[in-house]
Structure 1
Amino acid sequence: MSGNMEKPICGSDSSVGEYDVGLHTAGLFLVLAASAFGAGFPVAAKKIKWLKVPTKIFFACKHFGTGVLIATAFVHLLPTAWLSLSNPCLPDFFVVQYPPLPGIIMMASLFSLFVIEMWMNNKMGGHSHGGARGFEETTDTSTENITAPSLLPSRPVRSSSLSSFEVDVSNPVKEEGLAIESKEEVVVREAQVQDVESQVDPLVYKKMNMNITLLEGGILFHSVFVGITVSITIDGFVVLLIAIIFHQVFEGLGLGSRIAAVPYPKGSIRPWLLVFAFGTTAPIGQAIGLATRGAYDPNSAFGLIIVGVFNAISSGLLIYAALVDLLAEDFLSEESNHTLTTKDKKIAFMWVILGAIGMSIIGAFA
């Protein structure tokens, strides 16, 4: 920046309208409900058998959610990080001397997650993220433990993709040389499939559990700042609130579908804890915003740097997790080639694109 140009002063415009505490408090509870519903619905639908949600719904939610998470990283997090850290009011280091800083931070977080996964692979072996269909499918050949597919009767590979989400007994498979299953066989198969969770190899389960924890960690980083931003916004608050509600529902469905795909032991509270963490993080941010609305200024130098750095970190974590652990695993892995037909992949990718489009549209308002 040339010496004769005066650097602008960081800070918000003090001429904005009056702060409506009641409206912002109501917004907190609306976001809480949207977040809890988005993340909790897939988990509840799996755990609560009487809901009987069709497997096609889980299939759609899982791949729609992948698109949502990818768009969250590219449309919401990375642009925000770049805009925050390139504000001309910041010190010259951010604006003049090293403007690519957000990309460096993003790359560092991406490499960090890669190193963690590489360490996990070397230590644990196996590779599974819940199956390309959104179900618990594990194929760790390094152990002798019985895994989900081996519990099913001998039949074409694609049929073994059914899991404890729901067993499709309304459309028994007819193949040359195979008879239609009897009612007794269906009952036995359903009982076997529902017992999959207790048969998953411990190392594979541990790795899947770690993967979903890292994925959620990348999401939760920015959720706090989303909540703070909502609470301290005055002009355009209603439009922003509506956008954030859709944002939380979409993102929650994506995350919740992945949580539901992890074969947690029966009675485990861990999936509910993950749902609780996502459901409450943005509202906690809103509560912080409400409490500090007179002290915290997101357009101050401190606010811009904090938001920019954490969004850059989150974008790196989410880009790696969404592209490598979700998209590539679901469409390019050997497991997906065995469990998904070409038609299945086309339908799944359509849901990915729809999720990305939906979240990108919300990006115009939030």
Structure 2
Amino acid sequence: MSDHGHSHSHGSEDCEGQLLDDYNQALHIGSIFIILVASFLGTAIPIVSNFIKILNIPKYIIVLGKCMGVGVILAAALIHMLLPANASLSSPCLPETFTESYEAWAFMFCVTGAIAMQLIDFLVLQYIQHRTVEKRATHPDPESPTPIDCGKLDESTDTYELQTVEVHKHGGHGHSHGGFILTNSELKTVEAYMLEFGVTVHSVFVGLAIGVADDTSLRALLVALCFHQFFEGLALGARINDAKASRLQQFILSMIFSISAPIGIAIGVGVSSTLNTNGVSFLFVQGIFDAICAGILLYIGFSMLLKDFPEDMNLHCKEKKHEQLRKAGMFAALWVGSGLMAYIGRYL
């Protein structure tokens, strides 16, 4: 076929899909276990370091890993999710009535994911406040105040302080003072679950791309995906560890992420002879999910950057030996994390 003919038939030929000539199934199956190990190691390191005291990992080193994880999350959201989502939802393989009606579908779904995450955060906080007030009302303590209103989040101590009222039954009148403390770890647990959802769904699609890749592409993609899964796992593990979830919850969350990309690869291997990654249905599903997950990760990443980052800096740098060097180290870890994920984006 001439170049001219190819240029005019590019959309129709590519959109119909092509059979893979260079495809070693054993190599693809082996990649499932390689990616499984890389993913699990990434999530396990922050979690295991918290339980195995013999490792004696300094808290500041864990903070550096957490900062690196924030950079990974932000870069993954924009480069590994939003960019391919935009490519999928603006593909010439989609109906022109869709692609030409609006040019920013991916960005719209991304914003939707971000503001939906903000709404979930708000509803969870309201639920926690309501549950705490209801519990105090059901089981009153004569020596303790009865809470009737909410207060403020104390970020420096990672707690939520609810304003309270001591009701002294003197003819129906009373006065208020005091307060009680509500831990903020439940909010971080919800964010850990949402981060898990975002990176897991994305990993399934990335794994699927590996599963249907030819052998030449697989070798480069496999190395990139190992680093991709390791660093995303590191970011997720740091967030799970920060949420103070139970050991069982931590193990389950780690395993769900660890098997997500391998499941995608396995599906890709199984349907490699029939799956058309340029098909309309595949492009819609991948594009919409990647865009929504990008919004979720952006919200979580910037929340950690604006709340956790300065909090960790106060706790682990302020008035410590080599204070300025410690602060510089946190920024360096953040930039290294985002830089590495941006570089890996060349290959995935």
Q: With the length of structure 1 as denominator, give the TM-score of the two structures.
A: 0.75
1:56 and 2:60 are equivalent in the alignment = yes
- Structure 2 partner of 1:321: 300
1:347 and 2:347 are equivalent in the alignment = no
Map residues 99-114 of structure 1 onto 2, 5 A cutoff.
99-114=103-118
1:231 and 2:251 are equivalent in the alignment = no
Cα deviation for residue 203 of structure 1 reads 5.0
- Structure 2 partner of 1:194: none
Map residues 135-150 of structure 1 onto 2, 5 A cutoff.
138-142=158-162
Aligned equivalents of 2:295 and 2:154: distance in 1? Answer: 22
Opposite residue 79 of structure 2, the aligned amino acid is V
Cα deviation for residue 118 of structure 1 reads 1.6
Aligned equivalents of 1:363 and 1:208: distance in 2? Answer: 28
- Structure 1 partner of 2:188: 208
Map residues 87-236 of structure 1 onto 2, 5 A cutoff.
87-124=91-128, 127=153, 138-142=158-162, 203-234=183-214, 235-236=216-217
- Alignment gaps of 5+ in structure 2: 1-7, 130-151, 165-180
Sequence identity of aligned pairs in percent?
29
Please list every run of at least 4 consecutive aligned residues from structure 1 whose deviation after the TM superposition is greater than 6 angstroms.
none
Aligned equivalents of 1:310 and 1:107: distance in 2? Answer: 12
Q: Is the 8 A contact 1:65 1:253 kept in 2?
A: yes
SS at structure 1 position matched to 2:11:
coil
1:288 and 2:275 are equivalent in the alignment = no
Residues 242 and 127 from structure 1, CA distance in 2 versus in 1: closer, same or farther, beyond 3 angstroms?
Answer: farther
- Structure 1 partner of 2:172: none
SS at structure 1 position matched to 2:100:
helix
Cα RMSD after superposing both structures? 2.5
Opposite residue 260 of structure 1, the aligned amino acid is N
CA radius of gyration, larger in: 2
Opposite residue 293 of structure 2, the aligned amino acid is S
Aligned equivalents of 1:37 and 1:87: distance in 2? Answer: 35
Opposite residue 354 of structure 1, the aligned amino acid is V
SS at structure 1 position matched to 2:103:
coil
Aligned equivalents of 2:188 and 2:154: distance in 1? Answer: 6
Opposite residue 329 of structure 1, the aligned amino acid is K
- Structure 1 partner of 2:345: 363
1:47 and 2:51 are equivalent in the alignment = yes
Residues 202 and 301 from structure 1, CA distance in 2 versus in 1: closer, same or farther, beyond 3 angstroms?
Answer: same
Count of equivalent residues: 297
Aligned equivalents of 1:242 and 1:143: distance in 2? Answer: 53
SS at structure 1 position matched to 2:161:
coil
Which moves more between the two structures, 287-296 or 22-31? Answer: 287-296
Aligned equivalents of 2:209 and 2:187: distance in 1? Answer: 34
SS at structure 1 position matched to 2:278:
coil
- Structure 2 partner of 1:189: none
Opposite residue 161 of structure 2, the aligned amino acid is T
* Deviation digits for residues 218-240 of structure 1 (CA, Å, limit 9, x no counterpart): 11121110111111100411000
Aligned equivalents of 1:13 and 1:292: distance in 2? Answer: 13
* Deviation digits for residues 45-77 of structure 1 (CA, Å, limit 9, x no counterpart): 111222222223212110011101110011110
- Structure 1 partner of 2:11: 8
Q: Is the 8 A contact 1:7 1:88 kept in 2?
A: no
- Alignment gaps of 5+ in structure 1: 132-136, 145-200
Which moves more between the two structures, 228-237 or 204-213? Answer: 204-213
Opposite residue 311 of structure 1, the aligned amino acid is D
* Deviation digits for residues 297-352 of structure 1 (CA, Å, limit 9, x no counterpart): 1111222111111111110111111112x11112456x754654362433212110
- Structure 1 partner of 2:171: none
Aligned equivalents of 1:42 and 1:16: distance in 2? Answer: 40
* Deviation digits for residues 236-264 of structure 1 (CA, Å, limit 9, x no counterpart): 11000100001011111111112112223
